[in-house]
Amino acid sequence: ALIEGDEEDEGVLLYYKYTDTEVESLGGREGLRRWYEDTCGAKGLVGRVRVARDGINATLGGTMAKLRLHCVELAGFEGFEGIDYKLARSPGSLNEAVEVESGFDQLSVQLTEEVVSLGPRAVGVHCEKGGKHLKPLDFHRMLSEADGEEEVVLIDVRNVYESRIGNFQCDGVETLLPATRTFNQFPRWVDSVENDLRDKKIMMYCTGGVRCEKASAYIKSKGPAFSNCFQLSGGIQRYLEAFPDDGGYFRGKNFVFDSRSSVPPERHGGAIISKCASCGRLHDDYGQRVRCDYCRLLLLLCPACLEEAGDADTKRYCEVCRAGSVGPADALGALGGLRLLCLHGFRQTAKSFRGRTAALRKRMKTVGFEYLDAPFTMDAAASGGA
């Protein structure tokens, strides 16, 4: 059921569906992409939609009324029934930088190969063979009843910058937080801890559920010793809705891929469990969009350290680069990192060009992109007068 609220309130809608996207009535997958562009654009919705060969994945913003109408329209297509629409009111963008980086300054609808990609190690893995879905209350109960007789491990399927500010913590249950930068590094991490997962009850969670579908299927593909696998249905978002007062076993804030940046339990501010990468003081605000100087991963830097960071020679590194737990992000990092100067075309701006290259930036996380607004000027002396 969708959350009731004032029709003109701003909201954020998350959903996914693994299904055949070759919608015959729309002329196939490209027709579905155009349908999204036309109908969402007409409603003034913003955000990102992936129209993949194996399904759809959307994060959209707009008024509650327009988002509800979108859900009703999508449900009219065959194969798109039964979607878990996660609709919540939004306090608005954290700031302009977060709005732009999250893609909530425009609407982007892309054709992709997969809803989410686990990379080449997971070729042939299908979500239909994933772990059993547990509703939030059942997931909570299973954690509560973990008594040590049966070994239970809880896996956070998300990336390190997400789990850094919020994760599940339950006495008697080991929570594993993979130090991954991207989802396609998850299979490599699983392979490295395979013996630690064998013959155990494996529970897992992510933001809204879409990544657990593939991640649990990959773990189960390891064989019968990994078949006792469960995933949190609806992800952290549904769990926090079920435990709005204290967040249940979830501590901290839920990192989200929209202009809000993070979300605490509804009636609880959310404990700060993360620290500034520089001084170690408690801090969990990604609003300044500070990044690792090596791999470009999001970093937490408190206001005091950010103010002191005026020295261009000061380098800041994420915990993954410092520990080398996933491996070097790119050989170019040793040379100080590759940076691309991006100059927009006619009738564009730096902001719009940045939005149009969002997918490229996501794939090239080790590269720094610098965007300039026209008119472009260059010092003739510095350029050799050419």
Q: 251 with 201: CB under 8 angstroms?
A: no
Give the span between the Cα atoms of 14 and 236, in whole angstroms: 12
What is the Cα–Cα distance from 266 to 245, expressed in whole angstroms? 7
Query: Catalytic positions, please?
Result: 206
DSSP 357: T
DSSP string, 142-201: HHHT--SSS-EEEEE-S-HHHHTTEEE-BTTBEEE----SSGGGHHHHHHHTHHHHTTSE
Q: Give me the residue label for tokens 């350029």.
A: 383
**Interior angle at CA 136, CA 2 and CA 236, nearest 5:** 75
Alpha-carbon gap, residue 57 to 15, rounded angstroms? 6
Dihedral Cα 193, 329, 50, 261, nearest 10 deg: 90
Q: Where does residue 44 rank: exposed (0-12), middle (13-18), buried (19+ CB within 10 A)?
A: exposed
Q: Alpha-carbon torsion 118, 121, 123, 127, what sign?
A: negative
Which H helix or E strand runs over 35? helix 29-42
* C-alpha pair distances (Å), 34 with each of 20, 25, 118: 16, 13, 27
Token reading at 349: 């701006």
Minimal CA–CA distance to 234: which of 79, 3, 15?
A: 15
